[in-house]
Structure 1
Amino acid sequence: MKRLNLIYTKVEDFFFKKDSQTEFLSFFRVAIGIIILLQFIAVMPDFDKLFSSNSIIPQDIMNVFTPDWLITFPKIVHFFQSFGIAENATIVITKISFITLCIFIITGFYSRIAAFLLLILQIALLKGSSFFAYGADFFTSMSLFYLILFPTDPPFSLKNFISTKKPGEVNATPVKRLFQLHISIAYFFSGLDKALGFNWWNGESIWKAIHLPYSNRDLNIDFTWLADHSYLLIIIGWSTILIEMGYPFFIWYKATQKTWLLLTISMHIGIALVLNLYYFSAIMIIWNMTNFYFEQPAKKRIQSSKKKIRTNPLPGQII
């Protein structure tokens, strides 16, 4: 009975024990808001080719793969057209709304409401042009979902600055643990999926990835020499599997947490530079830093402050 009570207490503390460290909330809100804004600004010149009725792939074709009950951008355009509002006007309003909501998130001005509205708008754009979507778009949706769950307004926000009402204390631990478990499970099964095949073991997947048409466009590195050193491709493939499958084990262990965090971030930097997947890599680096970068530094600051008090006592202070 005592053992069960001990296990219950540990589980309860793990999921619900309040943590005074809230820096990760501000970092996640500001970083995700900036990345989503930059990505949207990059897409804006091609907005009509992707989302309007004049898109590269006709809307009639994309609507075949979209359920009737789902709100999509073409349906939003059609709805406003029934009130005499032209499509171009709807596109302009959408662009302004998207940028405004991102700014609200970055500045912390009712960021949870802004994230909710932006999530609806982002999904409408995503599902209305599903042929142009890829993994990073789904991670954007999940990031906005976590912004809705996290109490991100109280720390370091415009709302807190202009409001005369003192924000109440919040406990972000339950959502943070959910976020940490989410990313741990995602990495593990991503690595497991790679390990079940043979392409990652023999380096074939790495060779194909670095020679994709959209890869290596910015740095334009000549990788042909790897054909004579295939063992490097095998090492990279094995390392990727090890980093991803070992993530839920080594990232939670304090002795290896920093090392595994550095390895994971380095992997995504490599993906960004070689495969040119900057947006996806940026989101994953933010996810990693939000969940595990702020774990140890906060404790070290507390310990260092205690040491300073002990070594440099104030006048009249009794040690």
Structure 2
Amino acid sequence: MKNLNAFYTKIENFFFRQDNQTEFLSFFRIAIGIVILLQFAAVLPDFEKLFSSNSIIPQDIMSVFTPDWLITFSKIVSFLQTLGIEESATMAITKVSFITLCILIITGFYSRISALLLLILQIALLKGSSFFAYGADFFTSMSLFYLILFPADQHFSLRNFIFGRKPGHSNITPVKRLFQIHISIAYFFSGLDKALGFNWWNGESIWKAIHLPYSNRDLNIDFSWLIEHSYLISLIGWSTIIIEICYPFFIWYKPTQKTWLFFTVSMHIGIALVLNLYYFSAIMIVWNITNFYFEQSDKKTVTSSKKKISAEYIPKQVGS
């Protein structure tokens, strides 16, 4: 019975223990806001070609794969046209709204409401043009979802500065644990999926990836020398599987947490530079740093605080 109570207490402390460490909230809000803003700025010159009625892929074709009940950007445009609002005006309002909401999130001015509105707008754009979507878009949606759950504008925010509010105190541990478990599961099953096939073990997937039409366009690295050293390609594939499938085990274990965080971030930097998947890599790096980098710094702060209290307490006892 005692062992069961002790186990229950550990579970309860893990999910609900008050966490006074809040730096990760400001980092996550600002970093994700900047990444989403930069991603949208990159799409902005081609916005009409992707989302208008004259898009590269006709809206009729893309709507075939979209449920009727789902609100998409094309449906919003059609609805506003019935009210006398032209498509060009809707396009302009959408661009200004998207950028404004990103700035509100970055500055911390009612970031939860801004994240909710931006999530609705982002999903409407994403689901209405699914042919143009890739991993970064889905992780953008999930990032905005966590910004809705987190009270990210309670610290280092424009809202507090304008209204003179003091940082609020709320238990953010349950949402933080949900976020940490989410990223751990995502990496594990991503690694497991790679491990079940043979393409990652023999390096075939790596070789194909670095020779995709959109890959290696910025640095233009010559990878032809890898033909004579094929074992390096296999080694990269093995490393990717190991980093991902072992992520839940080594990232939670304190002695290896910092090392595995470095391996994971390095992997995404390599993906960004070689495959040119900058925004996907940026979001994943932000997720990793948000969830586990500040765990280390918080641990050090607590330890140093305990040592300081002990150092101040012992002399008083001796002196008395």
The TM-score, its normalising length taken from structure 2, stands at 0.96
Q: Secondary structure at the match of 1:89?
A: helix
SS at match of 2:169: coil
Residue matched to 1:228: 228
Deviations 1:219-256 (A, max 9, x none): 00000000000000111000000000000000000000
How many angstroms apart in 2 are the aligned matches of 1:27 and 1:147?
A: 11
Moved more, 114-123 or 155-164: 155-164
For 1:149-168, what aligned pairs fall within 5 Å after superposition? Answer: 149-168=149-168
The answer to whether 1:103 aligns with 2:103 is: yes
* TM-fit CA distance, 1:2: 1.1
Partner secondary structure for residue 201 of structure 2: coil
Q: Which runs of 4 or more aligned residues in structure 1 lie more than 4 Å from their structure 2 counterparts after TM superposition?
A: 305-313, 316-319
Shift, 1:163, TM fit: 1.9
Letter in 2 for 1:143: S
State whether structure 2 residue 105 is matched by structure 1 residue 72: no
Please state how far the C-alpha of 1:167 moved relative to its aligned partner: 4.3
The answer for the alignment partner of 1:13 in structure 2 is: 13
Residue 193 of structure 2 aligns with which residue? Answer: 193
Q: Does 1:52 align with 2:91?
A: no
**Equivalent residue for 1:214?**
214
Gaps of 5+ in 1: none
Structure holding more helix per residue:
2
Give the superposed CA RMSD. Answer: 1.8
Alignment partner, residue 290 of structure 1: 290
**Partner in structure 2 of residue 304 of structure 1:** 304
Gap change, CA 1:36 and 1:295, over 3 Å in 2: same
Equivalents in 2 of 1:82, 1:199: separation in Å?
Answer: 52
Separation in structure 2 between the aligned mates of residue 26 and residue 3 of structure 1, nearest angstrom: 39
Matches within 5 A, 1:6-155: 6-155=6-155
Q: CA deviation at 1:304?
A: 3.2
CA distance in 2, matches of 1:308, 1:101: 43
How far apart, in 2, do the equivalents of 1:49 and 1:165 lie?
44
Structure 2 runs not aligned, ≥5 long: none
The secondary structure found in structure 2 opposite 1:76 is helix
- Alignment correspondent of 1:245: 245
Kindly indicate whether residue 266 of structure 2 is the aligned counterpart of residue 266 of structure 1: yes
Q: Structure 1: how far apart are the matches of 2:166 and 2:34?
A: 27
1:49–1:9: structure 2 CA closer, same or farther, 3 Å change rule? same
Deviation at 1:164, TM superposition (A): 3.7
Structure 1: distance between partners of 2:151 and 2:73: 29
Q: How many Å apart are 1:140 and its aligned residue?
A: 0.4
Structure 2 match to 1:276: 276
Percent identity reads 79
AA in 1 matched with 2:130: S
